[in-house]
Each structure stands twice: as C-alpha cells, then as structure tokens.
Amino acid sequence: SVSLRHHRHYHLLSLCFLFVWGTSFSLAALTEQQILEKLFDATQGENWKTSDQWKSSSNVCEWFGVTCNEDNAVEKLSLDRNNLNGALPSELWQLKALQEVSVRMNLLTSANLQGLQTENPKQDPRSPLLRFQAADNHLTS
C-alpha cells in the first residue's frame, strides 16, 4: 500500500539522517580545550610538576603555561622543565593561533610534527607555528 511504502521511506531517510548526523559530530573540529586535554593526557599530565587549572572548567587562557592572544586563542605553550612524559599529540598543531611551543627539558619521546604539514596552506591552514623548542628530551621522531 501507499502508506506502507511512505512509512518505509521515512525510516530509511531517518536512518540516513542519523548516520550523517552522527558522522558529522565525529568529524567536527576539536575545541582548544579538547586539544589541550589531549596534550595533558598524552604526556602524563597528572605527573607534571605544575598543572594549575589544567582540565578544569576555567578558560584555557588561565591554565599553567598557556598564553592567549587578544582573541583568547592559544598562542603560546611554555611547559619547560615540567615533567611532560610521552608524545605530543598531532592534534596540538590544530590550534589555529599557536605560534610558539616550548617543551625543553622534559621526557618527551615524540613530537608528531606531521600534523604541521599541509599541501595547500591557503585552503587548509594549520597552526602558524614560528618557534618549536624541544631540546633536552628523548625525541626519536
């Protein structure tokens, strides 16, 4: 019957919508807070010497070692001598205003710099990183 056919189409469209809707959330860009939380988790943040405000509900600009620009976007990370241990996550380079990262004298094993590469910077802008300081770590890649 006609009503049964419309009913089936409605369910099919509903399923397609749910699939697309669910997929769009997984592809959504991470917030600055989510990116910094990934950094914290990937580098054993619970063991950092200083982690004031990290993973709290306060603005990320108030977190230890985070400096923001006038637009409240993360511009600089200063986490030298802070017992970071592990690998910097590639998501770190998704911070759109990040210009400087200083993680000297820690226990980092990898920096995942491939996240900085892009084939077309005008269409796919990455972090405008100007300075990356990571001396005195255990970097292998």
Dist. CA 120–CA 127, nearest whole Å: 13
34-77 pLDDT, tens digit each: 999 999 999 999 999 999 999 999 999 999 999 999 999 999 99
Please state the pTM of the whole predicted model.
0.74
Name the burial class of residue 97, with classes exposed (0-12), middle (13-18) and buried (19+) by CB atoms within 10 angstroms of its CB.
middle
**Is 6 a residue whose pLDDT tops 60?**
no
Dist. CA 47–CA 83, nearest whole Å: 7
